[in-house]
């Protein structure tokens, strides 16, 4: 989803600022994803009791827990808030467009 938004605005997911490009990874993709880490943390905090029940004894995320987190995060991204406004996917796309505009203005 983030990578598609980056490509849609004409940016290269491999050329990053914060994450190193030495290993040929998608550095800019990881740079952009960092901005949305609080969304994942919020999800974990809000549902910590449910997640503890799914946690494996080896202190790793169980398959069930990973599936639950992915499904819950996807739902959170696409759900419009009751207070109005767009879904988090709309925010993400708007942010990526703004980044592209800012980069293009400075070139």
Model confidence pLDDT, tens digit, residues 18-43: 767 666 788 899 999 999 999 988 98
Q: How confident is the model at residue 49 (pLDDT cuts 50, 70, 90)?
A: confident
Mean pLDDT of the residues in the chain: 86
CA torsion 73-78-79-81 (nearest 10°) is 100
Ordered DSSP codes for 11-57: --TT--SSS--TT---HHHHHHHHTTHHHHHHHHHHTHHHHHHH--T
Q: What are phi and psi of 86, to 5 degrees?
A: -90, 170
- Cβ pair 78, 89 in contact under 8 A: yes
Most confident of 7-21, 37-51, 93-107: 93-107
39 Cβ neighbours under 8 A, 6+ residues apart: 73, 76, 77, 88
Does residue 100 register a pLDDT over 90? yes
Is the dihedral angle over the CA atoms 77, 83, 84, 85 positive or is it negative? negative
- Considering only residues 50 and 82, tell me which one the structure prediction assigns the higher pLDDT: 82
Q: How confident is the model at residue 54 (pLDDT cuts 50, 70, 90)?
A: low
């Amino acid at each position: 989803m983030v990578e598609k938004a980056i490509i849609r605005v004409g940016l290269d997911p491999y050329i990053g600022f914060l994450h190193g490009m030495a290993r040929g990874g998608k550095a800019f993709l990881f740079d952009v994803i960092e901005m949305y880490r609080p969304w994942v943390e919020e999800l974990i905090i809000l549902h910590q009791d449910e997640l503890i029940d799914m946690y494996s004894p080896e202190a790793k995320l169980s398959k069930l827990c990973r599936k639950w987190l992915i499904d819950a995060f996807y739902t959170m991204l696409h759900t419009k808030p009751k207070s109005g406004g767009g879904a988090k996917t709309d925010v993400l796309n708007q942010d990526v467009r703004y980044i592209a505009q800012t980069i293009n203005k400075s070139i």
